[in-house]
Structure 1
Amino acid sequence: MNTHFFFALVLPDDIKAYLYAVTEQLKSEFPFKKWLHPADYHITMAFLGNAPDSLKKDALERVERELADETSFELKLDGIGGFGKNESPRILWAGVQKQERLFTIQKKIYDSCVEAGFELDKKPFKPHITLARKYEGESPFSLEGVRQIANLEGEHFEAVQVALYQTHLGAFPSYEKIFTINFQ
C-alpha cells in the first residue's frame, strides 16, 4: 500500500473540537467532497511522501536533536481561507497568526529532513490547518460567506508537540501519529 509520512505541529484537543464545531456550521451551505476528521487537524511542517525506513529514521533523529531545547509557545487562530480557484477552492483552511517561533521550528524540521536526504517542496511555508478538500457546490464558492459564519480570530492555544504522522488512505481519520516530540 502506498503510504505517506509528514512532520506536523500537533493541535490540542480543545482547538480540534472548536474547529470541528465551526466546520459543522459550514457543511450544509458549503459542500466539499471531504471534510477532515477533527483528529486529522494539524499544521504540516514537512511533507516527506513515501520513504524507506532508514531515511525516515535518520530524519527523525535529526529533527529530535534539533528540537531538543525547544519550549512550548502560544499560537492564535487567524481567519479562514482557501487554496485554488476562488470560485471552487481545492482546500478550505484555518490560518494562524504569524509567529516567528513557528517558522523557526518549521525551518529546523525542514532542514533536518533535507540533510537526511529528502527532496521537499520548495514553496514558502504557509502555516494552515486543512478543514476540507475539493469544493463541489453548484454555485460559486464564497469565502466572504464562509467568513460571515466562521470567525476564527482570537482563539489561542499552546503549541507543545510535533509528530511524525503516517497517512492511511481511505481511513477516517486518515493520519496516525507514529512518533511524537514534546517541547519543554
Structure 2
Amino acid sequence: MSLFVAIFPPEDVRRDLASSVPGIRSRADKWHVTLAFLGDADPALVAPALGQASLGDPFTLRLTGGGRFRSVVWAGLGGDVASLGALRDRVVGCLAGFPIDDRDFQPHLTVSYRYSASILNGLADYAGPEWWVRGVSLVRSAEGTYSRIGEWTLP
C-alpha cells in the first residue's frame, strides 16, 4: 500500500486526451497529477494535517504536450502552473514530518508506463481543454487499485 496527494482532471478532460492521442492504454480514471508521494504513511494521521491546511484558491490547468522519463510517457501541464507549484508547496508544508518523496516537483500526468513513440508523437501537438483545479485528493494505492480516501476543496 502507498499513499499520495493528487489532482484528478475531470472526466471530459481525460476523455479528450484519450480520444486525441491514439495508443494510450492506461486507465483514464487513474490519471492524476501527484503533488506529494507519502509511501506507507498512516492516512489517519495525514488526513487531519491536510484538513487543517490553507490550500489557496482555485486555478486553471490544461494538459499540453508531453515527454518521457525513461520508459514512462507523460502529458505536460499548461495554464496556471505557478499556482500548481504553490499548491504543491502548501501541501508539502502542511505534511512536514511525514516521509514525502524529496525529488524535484516536475508536474505531469503519466499516460503510459511503457515507452511508445506513437504516444509521445501524439502528445507533441496536443493541447487539451482547460479545467478548474478545485481540490486535492488523498489516495491509497494498493495492488494497482486507487481509492480516494479524502478530498479537500480549494475555497
Name the CA shift for 1:148/1:108 in 2 (closer, same or farther; >3 Å): same
Instruction: Kindly indicate whether residue 63 of structure 2 is the aligned counterpart of residue 77 of structure 1.
Output: yes
Q: Given that residues 161 and 183 in structure 1 are in contact (C-alpha distance below 8 angstroms), is that contact kept between their aligned partners in structure 2? A: yes
When normalised by structure 2's length, the TM-score is 0.87
User: 142, 149, 154: which is aligned to 1:168?
Assistant: 142
Q: Identify the residue that residue 42 of structure 1 maps to in structure 2.
A: 32
Instruction: Kindly indicate whether residue 76 of structure 2 is the aligned counterpart of residue 95 of structure 1.
Output: yes
Residue 73 of structure 1 deviates from its aligned partner by: 0.8
Instruction: Kindly indicate whether residue 143 of structure 2 is the aligned counterpart of residue 179 of structure 1.
Output: no
Q: Given that residues 10 and 160 in structure 1 are in contact (C-alpha distance below 8 angstroms), is that contact kept between their aligned partners in structure 2? A: no
Query: Once the two structures are aligned, what percentage of the paired residues are identical?
Result: 24
Name the CA shift for 1:148/1:131 in 2 (closer, same or farther; >3 Å): closer
Distance 1:147 1:37 in 2: 17
Residue 93 of structure 1 deviates from its aligned partner by: 0.6
Q: Identify the residue that residue 91 of structure 2 maps to in structure 1.
A: 109
Q: Which letter maps to 2:23? A: L
User: 98, 101, 115: which is aligned to 1:118?
Assistant: 98
Q: Which runs of 5+ in 2 are unaligned?
A: none
CA deviations on 1:21-71 (whole Å, 9 max, x unpaired) are: 235x124xxxxxxx421110110000111123xxx3333222222235x22
User: 23, 27, 30: which is aligned to 1:26?
Assistant: 23
CA deviations on 1:90-131 (whole Å, 9 max, x unpaired) are: x11111026111111101111222x2x322222110111111
Q: Identify the residue that residue 62 of structure 1 maps to in structure 2.
A: 49
Distance 1:148 1:10 in 2: 24
The aligned length equals: 153
User: 108, 115, 118: which is aligned to 1:128?
Assistant: 108
Distance 1:156 1:178 in 2: 26
Specify the SS of the correspondent of 2:18: helix
Distance 2:50 2:76 in 1: 24
Distance 1:178 1:109 in 2: 16
Q: Identify the residue that residue 30 of structure 1 maps to in structure 2.
A: none
Q: Which letter maps to 1:181? A: W
RMSD of the TM alignment (CA)?
2.0
Q: Larger radius of gyration, structure 1 or 2?
A: 1
When normalised by structure 1's length, the TM-score is 0.74
Residue 148 of structure 1 deviates from its aligned partner by: 4.2
